[in-house]
Amino acid sequence: MPIQTEPVTINLGPQHPSTHGVFRLRVTFDGELVLDVEPIFGYLHRGTEKLAEERTYVQIVTLTDRLDYVASMTNNQAYTRAVEKLSCIDVPERAQYLRGITAELQRIASHLISTGFLLQEMGTFGGTPLMYCFRERERILDMFEMLCGARITVSYMRPGGVTQDAPPEFWEALAVFTRDMPGYIDDLEGLISDNEVVLARTRDVGILSDELAVAGSVTGPMLRASGVQWDLRKADPYEIYDRVEFDVPIGATGDTFDRYIVRVQEMRESVRIIEQCVEQIPGGPVRSDAPFFMRPPAGDAYAAVEAPKGELGFYLVSDGGISPYRCKIRSPSFINMNVLKDMLVGWKMGDLIIIFGSTDIVMGEVDR
């Protein structure tokens, strides 16, 4: 005999440990069934875009680290490319390769965090996959520390190149990492991909169709998991990506499992890209002679990169001064949430946390 229930609206977050930071969902349930979802954010808003209008073009690099603080290298890359486009600055070839290597290391680190916490939100294995992911991420952060002395908020890139060349110990650590990482990815997949708990909770759960993904301007692994083969590194190559060979993994159904497996496959491709960069990198300077107090000519420019979470772009407007007149950020974490309601309605409470986790957002980038 069915039990009569009435819809009830509850808040998940902003303090809930499975809401990825200070994020709040107002959810209407009928029993366990999700009837409606309203994402509410802004609790972490720091006014980054407005702060950028009061700082020099070089000083703004430090602000970009605090957006997606799980992938600060690619934030640096997107911003510096916008400044270089606005100012017509050329980047030395060696610096381009260093940017490519660090961006792909950052992609691996970001996907490791996404994968580890997705499994943690399922409550599986007592945290073992998360610790495995943290272990490999630590090796990447060690290499970042060799490059610039910082691990999370790196500020390594500058308009015109990077702050300094890589020391010898970086190349030694990178060689060991690229040798070992494919085996560690195999171990991670062996632990996760065929596990019956994981399959039961991710297969055909939270399906995002290709039509809805495109209509919602979704980018990154979420879009590719829905079967759309779109990657800026292929569609609009920048820096070194037209000189290396790599594949763009795509999913079949756009479910939670596809979003997980696409990120795992992208880690393999990132290792492949790094190995080619190490083989090809030339000698020479790592930064062009750009002034600290830059004064780009009046005008505007937009530049984007394929960040771990999708298309990350910076739109800058110059009035000829030492600070941008306007700075606007296209953050994939924010835009990918366009389809969150469509992905959650009709599923159960337990599914909601897993589906939301598979979107892989960082609130610093959502609130900006």
The CATH number of residue 133's host domain is: 1.10.645.10
Share the mean pLDDT of the chain: 91
Is a pLDDT exceeding 70 seen at residue 10? yes
Does 235 score more than 90 pLDDT? yes
CA distance 125 to 303: 41
Secondary structure of residue 87 in the 3-state scheme: helix
Distances (CA, A) of 275 to 151, 231, 270: 22, 20, 9
Q: Does residue 24 surpass a pLDDT of 80?
A: yes
Identify whether 25 is part of a domain: no
Angle between the N-to-C axes of helices 349-358 and 256-280, in degrees from 0 to 180, rounded to the nearest 10: 20
| Confidence band, pLDDT 50/70/90 cuts, at residue 15 | low
Q: Please report whether residue 2 resides in a domain.
A: no
pLDDT digits (tens, 9 = 90+) for 255-296: 999 999 999 999 999 999 999 999 999 999 999 988 888 999
Q: State the pLDDT confidence band at 2, using cuts at 50, 70 and 90.
A: low
> Using 50, 70 and 90 to split pLDDT, how confident is the model at 123?
confident
Q: What is the pLDDT of residue 1?
A: 56
What pLDDT score was predicted for residue 129? Answer: 79
The fraction of the chain above a pLDDT of 90, given in percent, is 74
Greatest CA separation for the chain: 77
Q: Note whether residue 93 is domain-resident.
A: yes
User: 319: domain range?
Assistant: 47-339
Q: How confident is the model at residue 321 (pLDDT cuts 50, 70, 90)?
A: very high
Q: What confidence score (pLDDT) does residue 121 get? A: 82
**Average confidence (pLDDT) over 185-190:** 90
- Could you tell me if residue 349 is inside a domain? no
Judge whether 33 and 346 are in contact, CB under 8 Å. yes
- With respect to residue 27, please indicate whether it lies within any of the assigned structural domains: no
Q: Phi, psi (5° rounding) for residue 66?
A: -90, 5
Task: Compute the distance between CA of residue 52 and CA of residue 61 in angstroms, rounded to an integer.
Answer: 9
Confidence at 245, pLDDT banded by 50, 70, 90: very high
Tracing tokens 């603080």 back to the chain, one arrives at: 69
Convert the pLDDT of each residue in 81-109 to its tens digit: 999 999 999 999 999 999 999 999 999 99
Residue 359 falls within a domain, yes or no?
Answer: no
The lowest-confidence range among 74-88, 140-154, 192-206 is 192-206
Distance separating alpha carbons of residues 139 and 153, to the nearest angstrom: 16
* 284 class by beta-carbon count within 10 Å (0-12 exposed, 13-18 middle, 19+ buried): exposed
pLDDT surpassing 70 at residue 125? no
Tell me what pLDDT residue 300 has: 95
Question: Tell me, what's the pLDDT at 19?
Answer: 59
Q: Is residue 58 part of a domain?
A: yes
Mean pLDDT of 248-257: 93
pLDDT of residue 46: 83
How far, in whole angstroms, is CA 137 from its chain's centroid? 14
Q: Is the pLDDT of residue 143 over 60?
A: yes
| Structure letter (DSSP) for residue 322 | S
The tokens 């998940």 sit on which residue? 12
Q: Specify the pTM.
A: 0.93
Cα–Cα distances in Å, from 283 out to 91, 95, 145, 165, 278? 13, 9, 22, 10, 11
Total domains in the fold of the chain:
1
Cβ-based neighbours of 15, under 8 Å, separated by 6 or more: none
Task: Please check the confidence at residue 167 and state whether its pLDDT lies above 60.
Answer: yes
Query: According to the model, what pLDDT value does residue 20 have?
Result: 62
pLDDT of residue 227: 94
Q: Is residue 16 part of a domain?
A: no
As a whole number, mean pLDDT of residues 193-201 equals 88
